[in-house]
Amino acid sequence: MTDPHSIVSQIGDLAQNGERMIERLRKRAFLPESRKGLNVRFGIAEAAQLLDCSTNRIRMAEEDGRLPPPPAGENGRRLGYTVEELLNMREVLGASPRRAENDVPAMIAVQNFKGGVGKSTVTTHLAHYFAVQGYRVLVVDCDSQATTTTLFGFNPHFNITREETLYPYLSIDPTQADLLYAVMRTPWPNVDLIPSNLELFDVEYELAAAGADGESVLAARFRKLKQGLNDLARNYDVVILDPPPALGTISLAVMQAANALLVPLAATTPDFCSTVQFLSMMDQVLQQLIEAGVQVDYSFVRLICSKFDPGDPSHDMVRAIMEQSFGPALLPVHILESAEISHAAMRMMTVYELEKPIGTARTHKRCKANLDEAMGQIEQLVRNGWGRVENVDEELVVNG
């Protein structure tokens, strides 16, 4: 008979070995400083496109001193603009997309109970897309697996303590009265992060052990998370929430705190079936929350197909099934399966952080164009919520 202690020890060894390897990969990815940086730059044509102005307008602002010109390399060529410089250009040229003071910040939960659908990948790419477009973004990692935290360059095991997660705010015996303590700067000047690690799962244990008083404690935690996030959201345009892929206390609190829901799903039959189950469970849970007096209100609920391979007939078949089932709730532009996304993830990055293509220039350009179009659908939904519909075509795309 196998000694159970030896099995536990073996699993512990595997976990430790894996954590050490993650740290080695992180250091290799972020050499020489072993800390993630943001070195991506934008040429003047791309900057003009992002600001929706002419290149001539940017050059004129540089010539009259309103904008500093970008530095030149050793060959004398302009190196391009950093994200920080783009943000300054938006302010100087009046091209900021920020919400008005009376606009409600978008609080988007990216959720599906099925693993492997690219939930954290969608979360991070969406955050970086909004950042490039000039919005102020807060990402809240509510998942104890902490994949999103890792993609932002932090090792949850070595770099993040329990006191830096949501735990001190949501625990049975809270030590924090608001969430300001948990907000971390990221390499992106307009993206902040509330990180996570495995110890956040202790909240689930504590609330499960609350006994007869559990329901009142649970309702209090729902209200508390929503209030804490609403207080923080005053300083942001978009808050993106990455909840655990399971129907637990934290997931329910996140779903109640959000004011929009984005459901990623892959183009496979198991993913479709799992997503239908997720929607059915969400329907039942939200009905119970409403009956219990817990307010739930979403400005939009949309599904987005991720990891879509247009060359795979089975993907086309499942996509057709999705379109018949979900109608206009399924966003028309899918996130295509791309080696560029996978290669960037190996470096703990998104495609928006790459200084140059990892694969071919054509593959990178196609991937980024697809991501821009897919994420742009969500941006337009957010702007619709603020009463800003740019043109008829975009409205038709969003509303099917």
Hey, where are the domains in the chain? 17-96, 106-399
Mean pLDDT by 10 residues, the chain (400 residues): 58 65 63 64 93 94 91 80 94 94 96 80 96 98 93 88 95 92 96 96 80 60 88 97 87 90 90 87 80 80 92 92 92 94 88 91 94 97 88 46
- Specify the pTM: 0.88
Report the CATH fold assignment for 17-96. Multidrug-efflux Transporter Regulator; Chain: A; Domain 2 (1.10.1660)
Q: What is the dihedral of CA 64, 67, 70, 72, to 10 degrees?
A: 30
Q: What is the dihedral of CA 88, 230, 144, 117, to 10 degrees?
A: -70
Radius of gyration for the chain, computed over Cα atoms and rounded to the nearest angstrom: 22
Residue in this structure with the two tokens 């991937």, named with its chain if needed: 367
358 residue type, one letter: I
Q: What is the dihedral of CA 150, 154, 156, 161, to 10 degrees?
A: -150
Residue 386, both tokens: 């603020």
Residue 186, both tokens: 């990221």
322 residue type, one letter: M
| pLDDT of the residue at 1 | 53
Q: Which of 211, 285, 213, 208 is nearest to 254 (CA)?
A: 285
| pLDDT of the residue at 93 | 94
| CATH 3.40.50.300 for the 106-399 domain, yes or no | yes
